[in-house]
């Protein structure tokens, strides 16, 4: 593949047949194969009766270069407004910093605005500075809610 340019990407809704390629790309990004996670995630996303494009892929010449996945919430966790989450994002490690993740986030934001979403939320592991910086560059800021956990 030649030079990758964000303006030449095809950003589209994720499809069932994308799963193997997303799993493989995620394994390159994270260093581990998480097929079970993606089987659950794809079933959830593709079964969304609201038909809001919360999960997208960026492809060029038929190759998936990146993806973003999220969910839409209509008042869960006691939060009255419609919110969306971004829970998974990945870009081919060989072509990072080419605007692919930015193009995915812009498309996702547009989709969420169209759906009436008032707020997008994500969780980032402390110490994942590149990811924190990426979300900060996309106007995410610390939330007014507090994530609580119970170690079992």
**Domains of the chain and any CATH numbers:** 6-137 (3.40.630.30)
Q: Work out the average pLDDT over 110-135.
A: 91
Share of the chain above pLDDT 90, in %: 54
CB 23 within 8 A of CB 33: yes
Q: What is the pLDDT of residue 116?
A: 86
Reported confidence tier of residue 147, pLDDT bands at 50, 70, 90: confident
The string of DSSP letters for 124-151 reads: --TT-HHHHHHHHHTT----SS------
Q: Is the pLDDT of residue 80 over 80?
A: no
> DSSP E strands: which ranges in the chain?
10-13, 55-60, 63-74, 82-91, 119-122
Reported confidence tier of residue 134, pLDDT bands at 50, 70, 90: very high
DSSP state of 42: H
Q: Is the pLDDT of residue 50 over 60?
A: no
Which 3 state secondary structure label does DSSP give 96? coil
More confident residue, 72 or 3: 72
Query: Distance between CA atoms of 150 and 152, rounded to whole angstroms?
Result: 6
Q: Work out the average pLDDT over 20-32.
A: 93
Q: Is the pLDDT of residue 49 over 60?
A: no
């Amino acid at each position: 593949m030649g030079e990758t340019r964000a303006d030449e990407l095809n950003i589209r809704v994720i499809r069932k047949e994308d799963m193997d390629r997303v799993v493989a790309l995620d394994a390159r990004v994270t260093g581990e194969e998480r097929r079970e996670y993606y089987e659950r995630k794809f079933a959830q996303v593709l079964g969304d009766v609201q038909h809001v494009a919360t999960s997208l892929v960026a492809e060029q010449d038929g190759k998936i270069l990146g993806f973003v996945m999220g969910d839409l919430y209509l008042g869960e966790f006691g939060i009255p407004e419609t919110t969306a989450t971004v829970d998974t994002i990945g870009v081919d490690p060989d072509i990072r910093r080419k605007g692919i993740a930015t193009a995915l986030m812009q498309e996702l934001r547009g989709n969420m605005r169209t759906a009436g979403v008032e707020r997008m939320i994500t969780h980032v592991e402390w110490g994942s500075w590149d990811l924190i910086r990426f979300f900060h560059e996309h106007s995410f800021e610390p939330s007014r809610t507090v994530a609580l956990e119970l170690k079992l």
